[in-house]
Each structure stands twice: as C-alpha cells, then as structure tokens.
Amino acid sequence: MINLFLDLDPSVKRRPRFKRVGAHVKTYSDPKDVAFKKDVVRLAVPQIEYPLSGPLRCEIVFFLKRPKTVTRKYPTSRNTGDVDNLAKAVLDALNIHAFDDDSQIISLTASKYYREVSGIEVKIYSLN
C-alpha cells in the first residue's frame, strides 16, 4: 500500500498544445502541467518505497481552498476543474514512481472537497 499526502494546490490535466513548424506539427504540454508534475514527483518520491505491481485500486481526495465568492458546500467543475482531469494529472505524475503504468489501476475513486488548507491525499492498494 502507498499512502501519500501532497501539500500543494490541485491542478487539472490540460489538453496538449500544438505548434506548426514548417510542414510539421509539434506537440507539447502546457507549462503549468509540467510544473505540477515536477511538484508531485518531488513530494511523492520520498514517501514511496517501491513501485507497486499487478492490479491496483486507487483513492484520491482533493482538498481545495474555498474561494471567497462561492457559497456552495461542495466544489463544482465551474470553479475547480473536473475531478477526472484532477485525477489524471496526479496519476500521470505518479507513473513509473508509484506503479509501472497507470493501466494497472482497475478501480479509481476520486473526490474533491473544500478545506482551509489545500492538498491531495492518495492511497494506492495492491489487489494481489
């Protein structure tokens, strides 16, 4: 089992960017995605003993700071991003470090809540 708490603001996985260079099209990631991935790796790797193998179950909880203008009890995608895009960003960053490939994850639970301090809680269970 891997149990992580990442003390950083959650970020969504954005669509890839495209740039035409002559007759070729170059694909690149948004700089915010690259920075978030580096932050996740920097915080997670010291907490991981070894990558898990076989089928996995993953639970991710995103804690977001409540904006001053929002009165809802739970976050919505309009102001915080879709929960599946939040999870995709974390799983892509943990690839190779926590597991060999994110295709090993056969069960995923992701949720987001408001809290005074933002962060990401990740639990990964081996199903072997």
Amino acid at 62: F
What does 23-68 look like in DSSP terms, one character per residue? TEEEEE--HHHHHHHHHHHHHHGGG-SS-B-SSEEEEEEEEEPPPT
- Least confident segment among 10-24, 79-93, 99-113: 10-24
Query: pLDDT, tens digit, for every residue of 58-100?
Result: 999 999 987 777 666 666 656 678 899 999 999 999 999 999 9
Instruction: Provide the whole-model pTM.
Output: 0.86
Three-state DSSP class for 30?
coil
**The pLDDT of residue 13:** 83
Q: Are 50 and 30 in contact (CB under 8 A)?
A: no
Question: Domain coordinates of the chain in residue numbers?
Answer: 2-126
Superfamily covering domain 2-126:
Holliday junction resolvase RusA (3.30.1330.70)
